[in-house]
């Protein structure tokens, strides 16, 4: 029987690679009996899906205004390059 520590590692790795038959089997058995690990699995998956929905170009963060002095500096750099 897997420990929770080993199970959590498999849950994580399942996000990165296809688990083997034996791994999947022992994982299912453990999850069937352990609510903490089942919740961990749900949390990891919902975190990934929430990040995915928030990562389209229009839902990325845009709440930090570019500081005014940086704006001006960049504007000058653009003008310099355009006039070259």
Partner 1 sequence: MTILDPEAWLDEHGSALYSFALLNVRDSHRAEDLVQETLLSALKAKDNFQESSSVRTWLIGILKHKIIDEFRQQSRDATPDDPDHALELAEAKNAEDNFNESGHWSLPITDWGDSEKEFTRDQFWKFIENCLASQSPKMSRLFILREIWGMETDEVCKEMGISPTNLWTTLHRARLGMRKCLEKKLHH
In angstroms, what is the minimal distance from the CB of 73 to partner 1?
7
Does 60 bind partner 1 (CB under 8 A)? Our answer is yes
For partner 1 (CB under 8 A), the number of binding residues is 48
Does 24 bind partner 1 (CB under 8 A)? Our answer is no
Does 23 bind partner 1 (CB under 8 A)? Our answer is no
- CA–CA distances in Å: residue 44 to residues 6, 9, 12, 40, 55: 15, 12, 8, 6, 17
Does 45 bind partner 1 (CB under 8 A)? Our answer is no
2 burial via Cβ count (<10 Å: 0-12, 13-18, 19+): middle
């Amino acid at each position: 029987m897997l420990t929770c520590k080993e199970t959590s590692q498999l849950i994580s790795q399942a996000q990165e690679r296809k688990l083997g038959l034996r791994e999947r089997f022992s994982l299912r058995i453990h999850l069937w009996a352990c609510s903490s690990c089942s919740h961990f699995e749900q949390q990891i998956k919902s975190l990934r899906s929430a990040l995915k929905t928030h990562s389209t170009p229009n839902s990325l963060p845009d709440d930090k205004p570019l500081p005014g002095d940086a704006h001006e500096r960049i504007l000058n750099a653009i003008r310099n390059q355009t006039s070259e």
